[in-house]
Structure 1
């Protein structure tokens, strides 16, 4: 397998295209969810299942994509993932019932997980244990452009061509990125793994690392807040408050713009204050957002719902960049497997957290507030001696 050290700027552009697959698959068709429910004559909860099935498959699939990225290379896994993503988008475009749609979305989640694992493992390959956290923050900032722009595009596509056009757009994006990566992406894994692809000890070595568990679970809880918001926003803003598709897109876009700004400032905070201080600030902002959401729960207006969400998105951006970088930092040749387990925590883990909270039967605002506040034990833990040791500078 040919490996090289291509220009970092070119690689970052390619990696940005790779990490956009997952948020694009979630955000572009959010304005069309009510129409999908009508088309298949199902309750709104079932159309929301097209998001949760996607996320569950994306999380579990990373257990396979990660070791394959270490064994076969980041480039091979990325290209295969894009192919699966594009074909399943076409399958969703042609869906005739909700079961067909859910199956297509599950397959699309498997494709998206491969692109995500390949991207973050490549970041670890190129930038090393310390700088990778900063680069992940920049990638997260790029990811946040999708919630800002995709609902606007999705709203226009839906109004002009129907809800199915959202999935044909995903297929077209996959085709374009596949062609670009096929020509330009170079393999960055410095040494292919010689171990069996699915050797259980590969996972256990990583899961026995306390710093990984701590920071991966932080990523999981932060992601749960965002997913709780994404899945509840159409219900609250369009269902309960009566906003139309364009108004929903407006509020969604403002939140994404704040998230972009926060993601771009997080690396600068990590440079000046360190990752531990960045995490403490992010967690504090998230908990303040939870208290504010509880305080405004009885106010029936869009700003009362979105103001705590705005704060939480800033906290989320600062948490995710610092925590993801620290979770991957101890691993070199196992970066693919580590990125996969991190993705499992973020996607399937956060989905499980949301599912447990939803069993309480609480209304959306209360559920989101709980997600924001359950990070308190992690905030306290950052003041302990082991946590301080994890955040000492690592050799490059």
Structure 2
């Protein structure tokens, strides 16, 4: 039941953003918001998630994973109540802030519980499955969110998040294993210095973050692009975004089979090759000034397939880059991804011109950085015993 509980928490983490983004157009009308202001409901959540993740990682290493996860889920529940009953825009922002603070507990530490129990090889298999869970949540969240919005308006999606948060909280109390306090890990931001001074750890963290950012960034900006400017209906938006996430999910869940059959190194380079193909396809869309929902969705499916193997293979290795610092490394990955996604969303909201041009440009730049950092990881791991680097020496 422990793994199933983490499964539920991962589903909540995956749905926390995607479930309510189909409500963006209605939120703009109800609260009279500009694109920048409606994107701020994502930005404030992501920044809160990011900053809290750093504290959560240190607290989890010091006081144990379970207690911090449960406190986080309690805060998330309070934030969801604020969103459901928000009479004004600032109350909605407050609720999103609390949701961001609360979700950092399960987002940062639930996988660390698995890392505490299983070997690296087993983690890589489970990572694919859990990424698939997030992707399934992302796949169904916009579809469910679209129909919930149609039937119950924007508040309905926050009710769904409230229910999911309560279920996760109850299951966490009942089934998560108690973890011992580790008094050798003091609660201080200075404890992150051991990670920040490791160039290998920083290259791993940067690789994971910059390869993930484009997908999460697109999820956040796509409702305005698709529904406001490309004329996609609410029902069709759920189909387009759901198809991208479903593609990610299916390949992620089956990634352990492909890794076992073809090897970690071959699968990693296949994923990086698909990322490059996505960049070329996106560049073609930008040069041709193509703003077609189907063409953009097909390109994004290339990215969804491409990032699976690098993330599933490298993230468990990332957690082992520095001994006895899994919680801190997980926190830095989570916070780095979220703060960079939030910054990109706000930049895009500011420069957005109703076309795919600024969105595609931001994604290409992020992936260029991700590929460069991945190259640096290989340089650092020359001679490593891990199978993915076996031929790199």
What TM-score, normalized by structure 1, do the two folds share?
0.89
Which residue number in structure 2 is paired with residue 26 of structure 1?
A: 17
Deviations 1:177-196 (A, max 9, x none): 22222122222x4x532135
Mapped to 2, the partners of 1:330 and 1:377 lie a distance apart of 18
Gaps of 5+ in 2: 389-393
Contact 1:81–1:114 (8 Å) recurs in 2 = yes
**DSSP 3-state at the match of 1:96:** coil
Work out whether residues 89 and 167 of structure 1, in 8 Å CA contact, stay in contact via their aligned partners in 2.
yes
Inter-CA distance 207–246: structure 2 relative to 1 (3 Å threshold): same
Kept after mapping to 2: 8 A contact 1:63/1:340:
yes
CA deviation vs aligned residue, 1:334-380 (integer Å, no higher than 9, x gap): 32222212212222244345656777765323333333344332354
Measured in 2, the distance between the counterparts of 1:248 and 1:306 equals 10
Counterparts of 1:242-257 in structure 2, within 5 Å, are: 242-257=231-246
Residues 139 and 246 of structure 2 are in contact (CA less than 8 Å); yes or no, is this contact kept in structure 1? Answer: yes
Q: Deviations over 1:123-154 (max 9, x none)?
A: 11111334323322211110001121111211
Distance 1:374 1:360 in 2: 21
Paired residues for 1:1-396 under 5 Å: 10-187=1-178, 189=179, 191-195=180-184, 197-297=186-286, 298-331=289-322, 333-352=324-343, 363-381=358-376, 384=379, 386-390=380-384, 392=386
Shift of 1:208: 2.3
**In the TM superposition, what is the alpha-carbon distance from 1:159 to its structure 2 partner?**
1.2
| Shift in CA distance, 45/200, structure 1 to aligned 2, threshold 3 Å | closer
In the alignment, is the contact (CA less than 8 A) between 1:224 and 1:354 conserved in 2? no
Q: Choose 272-281 or 344-353, whichever is displaced more.
A: 272-281
Which has the larger displacement, 373-382 or 164-173?
373-382
Q: How many angstroms does 1:91 deviate by?
A: 0.5
Alignment match, 1:3 = none
Aligned residues: 382
- The verdict on how the C-alpha distance between 1:275 and 1:243 changes in structure 2, with shifts beyond 3 A counting, is same
TM-score by length of 2: 0.90
- Report the CA distance between 1:172 and its aligned residue: 1.2
- CA distance 1:51–1:393, shift in 2 (3 Å): same
Q: 1:382 to 1:279 in 2, by over 3 A?
A: farther
Any conservation in 1 of the 2:75–2:99 contact (CA below 8 Å)?
yes
- Give the Å deviation of 1:109: 0.6
RMSD across aligned positions (CA): 2.3
Call closer, same or farther: CA 1:130–1:204 in 2, change over 3 Å: farther
Q: Which moved more, 1:174-183 or 1:87-96?
A: 174-183
The alpha-carbon deviation at position 274 of structure 1 amounts to: 4.8
The answer to whether the 8 Å contact 1:84/1:108 transfers is yes
1-side partners of 2:88 and 2:330: how far apart?
Answer: 34
Residue pair 1:236, 1:364 contacting (<8 A) in 2 also: no
Gaps of at least 5 residues in structure 1 are 1-9
Following the alignment from structure 2 to structure 1, what is the Cα–Cα distance between the partners of residues 83 and 266?
44
